[in-house]
A and B are shown apart, each in its own frame.
Chain A
Amino acid sequence: MQIKVMTNILDKNDQIAAEVNETLSAKGIFVVNLLGSPGCGKTSLLEQTICGLKNELSIAVIEGDLFTAKDAQRIEQHGVPVVQINTSGGCHLDANMVNCVLDSLELEKLDLIVIENVGNLVCPAEFNIGEDVKVTVLSITEGEDKPLKYPLIFQQASAVILNKIDLLPYTNFDMQSAVNDITGLNPDATLLQVSARTGQGLNEWYDWLKKQVRMKQARSIS
């Protein structure tokens, strides 16, 4: 006997993601799913972002990591609430993992939650975790060929951040080619060039982020 099913395999995850987003939207909190490969500078960018914006926005961080709390410890030094999720070898966060830690945060006080996903350009792209936007970081030293090699994570992003641009003179990175590939994959994405180390370009990133937070808050009030 044949039974027609036609059910999305990730339905259960997507339902929980929608619930997480609903809970956080009710409090007017904007949620970023921060993606990128290991070593692309997600945590450094996040540290700079906290320093740059913590006087204007109330920020909390959820850190995804396979085994350690190293990134959470870095974030904690900047005086913002941080929750660690260890995936015990799992290659991505899923919506349930995020749902389970929401109680650890004082949501009433927050404007922005950044969820730093496990460093990986493949798996995290498939799993919504309750975010409003995905932001994908690509560092110059990874090479300009990565967007077409890992298209989904760049196609799903609302903003793509090219990090470590201070290293451009020391690499063969072809910026034009990277920009063309990312734009072809995702014409609507905001493309930002920054160096989390020197601070170059970060003001544009802060402005983008603040605008998103303000738009979210306006939507929640109306």
Chain B
Amino acid sequence: MHEMAIAQGILDIVLKTASENDAVKVTSIKLLIGEMTQVEPESLKFGFAALSMGSIAEGAIVEITSVPLVGQCNGCGQQFAIEKYCFLCSNCNSTNVTVISGRELAVDYLEVE
């Protein structure tokens, strides 16, 4: 249940950003969550709703955009969707692959009043 710790991280970022922008109410929060993170969206929303009670972010809609897991081969340059967690290049079978997306855990933007 590390979603609570992540929800706390989101709330800290949301309240700091809202305060810096003189917002009085946060109405929605857009998150980017990579495919290769171990976050359960419903637990995260539940945790955020509980933690944000009494703050200006109470009742804000939390929207989650899932980011697919994509690798790039450092040998042949191929970009490919990593399927079944096989991190070998789909073109040349190289093991020298960099993950270019799918590990995101980020607050993308807020809607505030």
Do A and B pair up? The answer is yes
A185 engages B38 (CB within 8 Å): no
A9 engages B21 (CB within 8 Å): no
Q: How many contacts A-B (CB < 8 Å)?
A: 99
- Give the residues in chain A near B37, CB-CB below 8 Å: 126, 152
Interface size on A, residues (CB 8 A): 34
B84 engages A186 (CB within 8 Å): no
**Is A76 part of the binding interface, using a Cβ–Cβ cutoff of 8 Å?**
no
**Is B63 part of the binding interface, using a Cβ–Cβ cutoff of 8 Å?**
no
A152 engages B13 (CB within 8 Å): no
Q: For B106, give its contact among A3, A6, A123, A150 (CB under 8 Å).
A: A6
B95 engages A6 (CB within 8 Å): no
- Give the residues in chain B near A127, CB-CB below 8 Å: 2, 5
Q: For A185, give its contact among B1, B13, B86, B112 (CB under 8 Å).
A: B86
- Give the residues in chain A near B107, CB-CB below 8 Å: 5-7, 9
* Shortest distance from the beta carbon of A212 to any chain B beta carbon, whole Å: 20
A9 engages B9 (CB within 8 Å): yes
A9 to B84, CA, bound (A): 26
A159 to B31, CA, bound (A): 32
A155 engages B106 (CB within 8 Å): no
B38 engages A1 (CB within 8 Å): no
30 A-B pairs within 8 Å (CB atoms) are namely A1-B111, A1-B113, A2-B110, A3-B18, A3-B23, A3-B112, A5-B13, A5-B17, A6-B108, A6-B109, A7-B17, A8-B104, A8-B106, A10-B6, A10-B9, A11-B9, A11-B13, A13-B9, A91-B2, A92-B2, A122-B38, A123-B1, A126-B2, A126-B105, A150-B38, A151-B36, A155-B36, A155-B87, A185-B85, A185-B86
Given A3-B21, A7-B13, 7 other A-B residues pairs in contact with their CB atoms under 8 A: A1-B21, A1-B112, A8-B106, A9-B105, A91-B1, A122-B38, A127-B5
